[in-house]
Structure 1
Amino acid sequence: MFRKSPTGTWLPARVPGSTNGLAVLLVLCSVVQSTTGGYDGSMLNGLNILPSYTDYFHLNAATTGLNTASVFIGGFFGPMAAGPMTDHLGRRPAMFWGSLITIIGIILQTAAQNIAMFVVARILLGFGQGISAVAAGVYLSETFPTRWRAWGVGLLNDFYYVGALIAAGITLGTGQWQSTWAWRVPSLFQAIFSIICIIILPFVPESPRWLVHEGLFEEARLVVAQTNADSDLANPIVLTVYKEIVDTLKWEKKQGRTMSPKEIIKTPAARRRMLIGMSAGPFSCVAGNIIASYYLGSELDTAGITDSIDQLKANVVLNVWCLGCALAGTHLIAKWGRKSTALLSESLLVICLFVIGGLSKMYADNPDTASKSLIYGDVAVMFLFQGFYSIAWTPLLFLYPSEVMNYSIRANGLAFSTFMLNALAVLLVFVMPIGLENIGWKMYMVNGSWDIVIIVLIAVYWVETKGRTLEEMDAIFEGEKHSSVPDVEAVRLGKATVDLTVLEEEVSNIAKQAPVKID
């Protein structure tokens, strides 16, 4: 049974009465964003192996990097628009417009006649993806219950590998076609994920935090009930979550917090939240995965696997492995914590990168006499590296920033994290094929050195966010929680109780008060 859910925007919603059913739709609506991104990375990985693609555009190392990295140029500018769009239009409308722009870019990419058209199309595609990713990350973190947030937002990026796996399978299937459709068909199929998102949007509610911000109190309470207790407005968890959201936004208003991008550097606490939260983007980008994510063919060349069909098969197997590791990592993050999982993953990456570098050097020194065990050992460690990367960075990329940042800076802060990721990716994706061509195995050593620095920064500066609502993060960064209700998880687990009569009276008076809108 579907029930109308007021959204405060032009995009209406009728949502399932079951909280579990709604949770499924929330995941489906948001994960298609990362599926698009994963599909794009794996598709370009496959296309860069296909002669029908490389010969059609007459690619060399520089133009290969340009064709591939151009999506990050759009991703560089997309987040600039994403923050204001997400805050002022609403989370769901921002996802809609981002998905629509992505579809337009994909159509142009499929019809590309030359490098210039292909690059422009991918810039537009990246722009739409940038908007959608930020809006989806903010939306899911603000809408999912605390107990499901790690899985809900983690899956947002875990499905990168679902898209990558689909693309790897499609490019493997079309790889032997003797026409440009060998790469145009995989390109066109990429649009299906954004289309699915647009179809599902009318069946999920608006973020309750955005609704409270807009002064739509009763509407926000209904959404909290829909996402936590099968639409039971009197449920103690619903009343606690709702009161906590309203109290915290009221406090932000009294402190003069606004939705301006300047807010991210306005106070010491905001700057600390910003630096810690946004670090997930750059850290994940420089970890070393870009080589295998976009240039697996070149990476396998350094290990002695040069047949294009063998490389495409390796691409499929790699994405199955990474998906499994990402799901296992999401479980670790939910049970063990964000910081601990990140430290474990990053330490394993350092070991793998130095081993890969050493094995690749041994092959480069004597490629004609290199043993099969050396080649397969190098490939095995490459696969381990991608799996270890997936354990932490895949689920944390959107989860950690959205948890660390408070409401007034969440959209702009996540946008800035995505902006920095794409800014680095534009450089690294362009440089990697040139670096591999000129210094080969030494690129792995450079990446390993970066990762050691990242381990130190995480150990010293990151905070643990496991088990807290978004509003309860204030206790870490502001020194106190800004609501009188007990912590939500304590209430849910029976460790704390609330007086339902008093709480109902308090929340009933909220709708009669002045709006909490923060302009």
Structure 2
Amino acid sequence: MKKSPTGTWLPARVPNSTTLLSFLLIICSVVNSSTGGYDGSMLNGLNILPSYTDYFTLNPATTGLNTASVFIGGLIGPIFAGIIADKVGRRPAIFQGSVITLIGVILQTAAQNIAMFVVARIILGFGSAVAGIAGGVYLSETFPSRWRAWGVGLLNDFYYVGALIAAGITLGTGQWQSTWAWRAPSLLQGIFSLLCIVILPFIPESPRWLVYQGYYEEARVVVAQTNSNGDISDPVAVTVYKEILDTITWEKKEGRTMSPIEILKTPTSRKRVLIGMSAGPFSCIAGNIIASYYLGSELETAGITNTLDQLKANVVLNVWCLACCLFGTHLAAKWGRKPTALFTEILLVICLFIIGGLSKMYADDPEGASSSLIYGDVAVMFLFQGFYSIAWTPLLYLYPPEVMNYSIRANGLALSQFGLNALALVLVFVMPIGLANIGWKMYMINGSWDIIVVILIAAYWVETKGKTLEEMDAIFEGEKHSSMPDVEQVIKGEEVIDVGKVVQQIHTDVAVVKMR
């Protein structure tokens, strides 16, 4: 382990091995995302448990409020998350978000009434949003470009690991004849934030944040640690660092600031933000809200009404979705982000119309419905969730930071999450009422607006595969703001750089910047 300069109050000692360090970064990524998955699956299970619904005397409206309140915090969190991550550093922002999440978990576990439960979930949602947004930006800026799809994709993939753990826990505690049937799963939700706090001292600060703050040598050390086993003279590490230095220097020279207003200043910034932030709203309106939080109600529309059967279905569903999102991360890395998103969205449209049709057949004659109809409907519901997981689970945090440049990255990802949570707040509250009142028609409505999403992705999304964050400028700005060859070409040996000459230029550039 070697001390890594962070430029913040939170110190770090990291391993010299880039592979081991990447593994630690992945652990930070997966524990960050597991909280959200655990929450969704836990509420799925709790909404099925009589010990929970009877304790709070829930009806469709209060069920929606209890469940959706986490998105109130998730809506408030992004307003501050980008500013916090830019000001105090990526790692300290993750730490602060994790601590706030723990406070929310404790209050939720101790809830005595609906009001206390709702307030606790607002705090939990706020902390999770801050940690998640800071984590998404941090990992996209720290992982080497060749591993970024997996490193950042896993940030949301492990949503389903958290979900699977929660599904298993609620299945086990569901038989308890006390309020601990729901309090125990709630308390265990805090373990992921604790693990995140434990891992933070062993991973470095974002090199992009360090360069922007003027910690040039510190940033160069981190780039070497994350790309070349700590060798600052490695050609790949030198190329990556020079790209970062050139691009951020250019942004400062152009007057780009870290203000949230920056996302609206220029046509290019607005374009980058609109394309990047669309991942959040698109993933939210895709249709997974129903199965993510109201699986019991969804299964009832297909004729599965037994509580234990619904809890078992919750476990199986999360295993299936985990496998699909890992496959989707592989597709995003090998095939590309845009093709993966289009592939998933088209499959979702098909599934929603099939589910709607089968659910209508069951609703028209529930007594005469055949077992093949019921199980066919459930099978397509499961396929839908799997198809959703292929693209939207890994791309939710992977795509936005790749599209946006440094000055707008944190606030842009925050805006994406704000859009997601704003829509989720409405949809999670409305879905149980909609399912109760119009049943199968909800699927038809959802499928119709998903067709619009397919068209928007095809028309406006850009591909980010195989490029560093700085190399995306060539697509949006019309030119790359560094004289260095693309990192991928250096890695493959297609371009050879004069390390000594580039290092000399780095020293000159840094000296000039410091004199300004």
Task: Give the equivalent residue in structure 2 for 1:439.
Answer: 438
Encode CA deviations 1:194-237: one digit per residue, 9 max, x unaligned.
00000000000000000000100110000000000100010000
* Residue identity in the other structure for 2:175: Q
- 2:374 aligned residue: 375
Partner residue of 2:311? 312
Residue of structure 2 equivalent to 1:256: 255
What whole-Å deviation, never above 9, does each CA across 1:124-153 have from its counterpart, x for those lacking one? 000000101100000000000000000000
Partner SS for 1:22: helix
Q: Which amino acid aligns with 1:371?
A: S
Q: Deviations over 1:248-276 (max 9, x none)?
A: 01110111100000100100100000000
Match of residue 297 from structure 1: 296
How big is each residue's C-alpha offset from its partner over 1:420-453, in whole Å with a ceiling of 9 and x where there is no partner?
1000000000000000000000000010001000
Q: 1:334 is matched with which residue?
A: 333
The residue type equivalent to 2:448 in the other structure is S
SS of equivalent to 2:2: strand
SS of residue in 2 equivalent to 1:206: coil
Q: Partners of 2:515 and 2:206 in 1: how far apart?
A: 15
Measure how far apart 1:501 and its partner are: 1.8
Residue 150 of structure 2 aligns with an amino acid whose one-letter code is: W
1:354 counterpart letter in structure 2? F
Alpha-carbon shift at residue 332 of structure 1 (Å): 0.3
| CA shift for structure 1 position 516 | 10
1:241 is displaced (CA, Å) by: 0.3
> Is the alpha carbon distance of 1:321 and 1:516 closer, same or farther for their aligned partners in structure 2, counting shifts above 3 Å?
farther
Q: Which amino acid aligns with 1:512?
A: A
Indicate if the aligned counterparts of 2:143 and 2:151 stay in contact, CA closer than 8 A.
yes
**In 1, are the aligned partners of 2:167 and 2:314 still within 8 Å (CA)?**
yes
CA distance in 1, matches of 2:262, 2:121: 31
Residue-by-residue CA offset, 1:6-62 (whole Å, 9 max, x unaligned): 000000000011001000111111221210000000000000000000000000000
In structure 2, what is the equivalent of residue 5 of structure 1?
4
Query: Which residue identity lines up with residue 324 of structure 1 in the other structure?
Result: A
Paired position in structure 1 for 2:476: 477
Deviations 1:279-328 (A, max 9, x none): 00000000000000000000000000000000000000000000000000
Question: 1:218, 1:511 within 8 Å by CA — same for their partners in 2?
Answer: no
Q: Is the 8 A contact 2:31 2:195 kept in 1?
A: yes
* Aligned length, in residue pairs: 516
SS at match of 2:258: coil
Which amino acid counterpart does residue 507 of structure 2 have in structure 1? S
**Percent of paired sites with the same residue:** 76
SS of the residue 2:512 aligns to? coil
- Within 1, Cα distance between the matches of 2:284 and 2:25? 27
Output one character per residue of 1:341-376: Cα deviation in whole Å (capped at 9) or x when no partner: 100000000000000000000000110110000000
User: Which structure 2 residues correspond to residues 340-359 of structure 1 after superposition, within 5 A?
Assistant: 340-359=339-358
Please give the secondary structure, in 1, of the residue aligned with 2:511: coil
The CA deviation at 1:104 is: 0.2
Which residue identity does 2:103 align to in structure 1?
I
CA contact under 8 A between 1:214 and 1:516: conserved in structure 2?
Answer: no
Within 5 A, what are the aligned runs for 1:351-500? 351-500=350-499
AA at the equivalent of 1:333:
A
Work out the CA distance in 1 between the residues paired with 2:289 and 2:372. Answer: 25
Q: Which moved more, 1:495-504 or 1:258-267?
A: 495-504
**CA displacement, residues 86-127 of structure 1 (integer Å, 9 cap, x when unaligned):** 000000000000000000000000000000000000000000
Partner Cα distance (2:336, 2:156) in 1: 17
* Partner residue, 1:55: 54
Q: Which residue of 1 aligns with 2:234?
A: 235
Could you tell me how far apart the structure 2 residues matched to 1:205 and 1:513 are? 26
Which residue does the alignment assign to 2:199?
Answer: 200
Give the superposition deviation at 1:510: 4.0
Give the unaligned 5+ runs of structure 2. none
Using the TM superposition, give the Cα deviation of residue 515 of structure 1 relative to its aligned residue in structure 2, in angstroms.
4.4
Task: Name 1:100's counterpart in structure 2.
Answer: 99
Give the equivalent residue in structure 2 for 1:265: 264
**Residue in structure 2 matched with residue 31 of structure 1 by the alignment:** 30
Unmatched runs of 5 consecutive residues or more in structure 1: none
Give yes or no for contact 2:65–2:429 (8 Å, CA) kept in 1.
yes
Residues in 1 aligned to 2:260 and 2:73: alpha-carbon distance in whole angstroms: 20
Residue 163 of structure 1 aligns with an amino acid whose one-letter code is G
SS at match of 2:478: coil
Q: What amino acid is aligned across from residue 72 of structure 1 in structure 2?
A: F
When residues 359 and 516 of structure 1 are mapped into structure 2, their CA distance, relative to the original with a 3 A threshold, is farther
Aligned pairs (5 A) from 1:265-284: 265-284=264-283
Which is worse superposed, 325-334 or 22-31? 22-31
Q: Distance in 1 between matches of 2:248 and 2:507?
A: 17
- Which amino acid is the alignment partner of residue 409 of structure 2? R
* Residue equivalent to 1:149: 148
* Deviation at residue 412 of structure 1 after TM alignment: 0.2
